[in-house]
Amino acid sequence: MADADFRWTVPADHPAFAGHFPGNPIVPGVVLLDRAILFAEAMLDRPGLTWQVGNAKFFSPVRPAEMLTFTLTAKPSGAIAFAVRAAERDVASGSLTPAAP
């Protein structure tokens, strides 16, 4: 399976901004992981899987209304590698593995 790109614009009114952080809103890493999982399920056409996070690194904060590109790559092991970019900036990367049924 080839790479798949998904685009997502962070809603300016996303509920995570209420507490992360008042006066200086940034997208929590868990929101980026959740979005990567949703895109991995779409890529595999298998919604509702249980996932394990193999690793995740966060390089740069994401602000409200930023447009992100998620690039997902299926590995022979069954893992999905992901990279997240905002314009020319690396935001996050990592790997996800669907748990055995």
Q: Percentage helix, strand, coil, to 5, in the chain?
A: 20, 40, 40
Domain enclosing residue 57, as ranges:
4-98
> Residue 101: what pLDDT?
66
Mean pLDDT of 24-47: 95
The catalytic residue among 20, 51, 69, 71 is 20
3-state DSSP assignment of residue 89: strand
The one-letter amino acid code at 66 reads E
Active-site residue flag, 20: yes
Tally of domains in the chain: 1
Mean pLDDT of 20-37: 94
Place of tokens 């997902």: 72
User: Is residue 39 packed enough to be buried (19+ CB in 10 Å), middle (13-18) or exposed (0-12)?
Assistant: buried
Percent of the chain residues topping a pLDDT of 90: 84
Q: What is the CATH number of the domain that holds 89?
A: 3.10.129.10
